[in-house]
Chain A
Amino acid sequence: MSAAHGGSGSSSGAGPASVGPRGGVALDLAALRRTKPTSRLLRLSIVLLGLLVVWAWTAGDFDFGDLVSERRAENVRRFLGEEITPYPLRETGFDQAAFVEWAKTLWDERGRRGVAATLSIAVLAIALAGAMALLLAPLAARNLATARPFEFGAARAARGPGWRALTTAVRALLVLLRAIPEYVWAFLFLAMLGPSAWPAVLALAIHNSGILGKLGAETIENLEARPLVALRDAGATRRGAWITAILPLSLARFLLYFFYRFETCVREATVLGMLGVVSLGYWIQDARSKHYYDEMLFFVALGAAIVLLGDLVSAAARAVLRRAR
């Protein structure tokens, strides 16, 4: 987590800081500035990003005149003033009993089922993704999938062509899995499998196994090499080392990633319903297509509530993992 790597770094000997005559530290600011870490790539990137931002806003894709037009203002007024007011309250003004009744009916008829389905899709998907990632990660880890495991330094480069082909293929697969958004996967699966919960579950599981697989492989590669070398030299096989040492050593880190991705899964599981899977998003889309914006807002709020719930569960689990360290 050190700051940018130095072009030169301060050499030993006469550094920019030296002990002054009265014991205080005298700083040579000019020398400090000279040895300040710089990165041409970083500077170039910042300039490029600035240009990208200017280009994006001026490329002509955005019609600001239309945004503030009378028609838009009228739409917004109608939406805020009328359409999002719960239907039974539009004539009467605010009445708590009627509001509770309205919310309760929505919850009983659709909300409860939507919430249960959304959470279930997220849980099942992340569990499948975790299992798939545990299978793929060791195959993608360059220190394990190699002719002579756990070498470090220069010896690590010589991995044998077969192993090299294997890790390359697995890594390419992981890239493909995670580069295609879950929404697109769900769109494809829905056309193939027809309407059920599976398209959403599979879409989330596939996308996340790509991400968890990559992170898992990195976790394995970053393990302290020396104990593993000792294990190897004591005669452990790859599979033996995986089960008895590597998996237990990397599990806590892997579970942390798992729970971060679980949070995302809850968010996405809501939204995937808009494609026709019966999660909350389905009811959001349903209400939207009927222009029942009061009901739509209710389900959006419900979605926000379960996202919060998911984040809390994840935070609690991560706290347990942290304590276990």
Chain B
Amino acid sequence: MAADRDADRAAAPRRPPEGGSRFGSASGRRWILLGITLAAVLAALTLDASLSGLVPQKGGTELVLRFFARALRPALDYESEVPDGTAPLWMAALAAARRTVVFAVAAMSLALVGGVVLGFLGSSAWWAGAPRGGNGAVQRAFYRGFAPAVWAAARVLIVGMRSVHELLWAVLFLAAMGLNNVTAVVAIAIPYAGTLGKVFSEMIDEAPRDAALALRASGATNLSVFALGLVPRALPDMWAYAFYRFECAIRSSAILGFFGFPTLGYSISASFENLHYGEVWTYLYALCALVLGVELWSGALRRRFVA
């Protein structure tokens, strides 16, 4: 998982522990635990979330029971009359699942392109490590003025793309253009490209520098140091992370169905509103199968290239 990688990095001490640190090893954690508890109490008070709100509303208990009773026997056929010639339920589920994958793959292909570009521009490794002074005013201007400006612009762009949720991007596009499947793909691709760009750039910046230093010492240009020394060291992690995001994209793509796009979420909400709980479970299991499939695939790959 992504968090795995981040935590691995976090676990490695970056500098020797300072004796006079205000946060001793245990007390830092203690303050954080205390903060979490206080914040949770404050949040419960703000929401006015009394425990009575957990009692199902009138008819709610019955609904819960009927819904979960169908968990073990998902519908194999439609639960109401359908016009002759309608494709059987399993084919409808399969078609919705197929579209969910299509949307996710298309979105990831866009997000990867954007993420790689942003990951490159948003990392400091391609300019910050370059020999200072350089030869000539043009090069100096490039490394002291232009490159940091591009880097900063990329970081701002990444933050902007990431901080709006894909559903909100979808809602914005729906408002601006109306319903078109391409907008769903773009809506997923924008925040995903931002996230990939952020993580890729961090991976490149924190990749082991051994090969890069050796290349630089032997006189390689900055670009080859970057492309041949740094990127290959970060590549396994980048692949693993991209795959993890693919899992997330499947989920996002399914959810966009709640807004009228023809993915699994659409089928789930339609069946739920018609009280066809068996069908809901059929679609939910289809979604679980997709997510699990990608998770197994990416897990197998991760074990290969991230020791």
List residues of A whose CB falls within 8 A of some B CB: 1-5, 39, 41-42, 45, 52-53, 55-57, 59, 61-64, 66-67, 71-72, 75-76, 79-80, 83, 116-117, 119-121, 123-124, 127-128, 130, 175-176, 179-181, 183-184, 187-188, 191-194, 196-198, 201, 215, 218, 248, 251-253, 255-258, 260-261, 267-268, 270-271, 274, 284-285, 288, 293, 296-297, 300, 303-305, 307-308, 311, 317-318, 320-325
Contact = CB atoms under 8 A, between A and B. Distances in A.
Contact of B164 (A52, A261, A303, A322): A303
Contacts, number: 252
Interface string B23-54: 11111110111011101101110111100011
B92 interface: no
25 contacts: A3-B305, A5-B305, A53-B106, A56-B103, A56-B105, A56-B109, A61-B181, A61-B262, A62-B106, A62-B185, A119-B43, A120-B43, A121-B47, A179-B292, A180-B288, A192-B56, A192-B61, A193-B54, A197-B48, A257-B3, A260-B3, A296-B171, A304-B164, A307-B165, A320-B23
List of 4 A-B pairs having minimum Cβ-Cβ separation, nearest first: A324-B28, A127-B40, A194-B57, A120-B43
A325 B26 CA distance: 9
A287 B13 CA distance: 48
Interface of B is mostly: helix
Interface string B229-253: 0001101110100000000000100
B40 A321 contact: no
Interface of B: 1-4, 6-8, 10-11, 13-14, 17, 21, 23-29, 31-33, 35-37, 39-40, 42-44, 46-49, 53-57, 60-61, 63-64, 67, 98-99, 101-103, 105-106, 108-109, 159-160, 162-165, 167-168, 171-172, 175-178, 180-183, 185, 208, 232-233, 235-237, 239, 251, 254-255, 258, 262, 265, 268-269, 272, 284, 287-288, 291-292, 297, 300-301, 304-307
B49 A187 contact: no
B168 A322 contact: no
A210 B156 CA distance: 33
B207 to A, nearest CB: 9
Interface of A is mostly: helix
A1 B182 contact: no
B54 A198 contact: yes
Contact of B180 (A67, A175, A300): A67
